[in-house]
A and B are shown apart, each in its own frame.
Chain A
Amino acid sequence: DAKTTQPPSMDCAEGRAANLPCNHSTISGNEYVYWYRQIHSQGPQYIIHGLKNNETNEMASLIITEDRKSSTLILPHATLRDTAVYYCIGYAGNMLTFGGGTRLMVKP
């Protein structure tokens, strides 16, 4: 699976959009980009995934660059409950490998 690079931490004001970047320059053609988040004392929560096209669901939007070397997870209106560690993962169906993630702090 592709090695991903994420900033270790980010802050966001409550009610504003949170844009979390991820670099996955070594991603292979059959690897999907997955995003999970983990809130303290809970298991990782699936957010969204995509292969080439941008994706949107009730939780977030995923923007993947045309060359697939990077992506951005967008939480359109961040709330205090969105404070968590966010993981970006390249996944080809063999082993879902978690890196360090981005610790997002949503502030009032």
Chain B
Amino acid sequence: EAGVAQSPRYKIIEKRQSVAFWCNPISGHATLYWYQQILGQGPKLLIQFQNNGVVDDSQLPKDRFSAERLKGVDSTLKIQPAKLEDSAVYLCASSLVGDSNSPLHFGNGTRLTVT
């Protein structure tokens, strides 16, 4: 079974620029998550989708971050404009149904450096 695919693997941008990350979840997984992991910390949930609908975006800084999951499969996360403190690894995860007995499976993330 293919895992969660993310691209790009690395991205370096200047502050105030925009950036987008792409995620392709495991085939058949209805639930998709975006996490942010700052160096030295555990991952923190940004947004959760169930199919193409948002379940939880309470932790997403909506003034600069946006995410979509058109057609309930692939997803993109965008930052516009980026700030220095957005430097982090952005992880995408998916799970089969999104309940407590359904493990999340993570991709290897996109490492963003904002200069």
Interface residues of A (CB under 8 A from B): 30-32, 34, 41-46, 49, 51, 87, 91-101
Contact = CB atoms under 8 A, between A and B. Distances in A.
Q: How large is the interface on B (under 10, 10 to 19, 20 to 34, 35 or more residues)?
A: 20 to 34
B52 interface: no
Interface of B: 4, 33, 42-45, 48, 56, 91, 93, 98-109
A44 B45 contact: no
Given A31-B100, A93-B100, A43 B91 contact: yes
Of B4, B42, B101, B107, most buried by chain A (CB within 10 Å of CB) is B42
Contacts of A44: 43, 91, 93, 104, 106
Q: Which of A43, A49, A98 has the most CB of B within 10 A?
A: A43
Looking at A93, A95, A96, A99, which has the most chain B CB atoms within 10 Å of its CB?
A96
A87 B42 contact: yes
B98 A97 contact: no
A43 B42 contact: no
B80 to A, nearest CB: 24
Contact of A43 (B100, B101, B107): B107
Given A43-B4, A43-B106, A93-B99, 19 more contacts: A30-B100, A31-B100, A43-B93, A44-B91, A44-B104, A44-B106, A45-B106, A46-B103, A46-B104, A87-B42, A91-B100, A92-B100, A93-B98, A93-B101, A95-B45, A97-B45, A98-B43, A99-B42, A101-B42
B43 to A, nearest CB: 5
A95 B56 contact: yes
B104 A42 contact: no
Contacts of B48: 95
A58 to B, nearest CB: 14
Contacts of A41: 108
Nearest to A97: B45
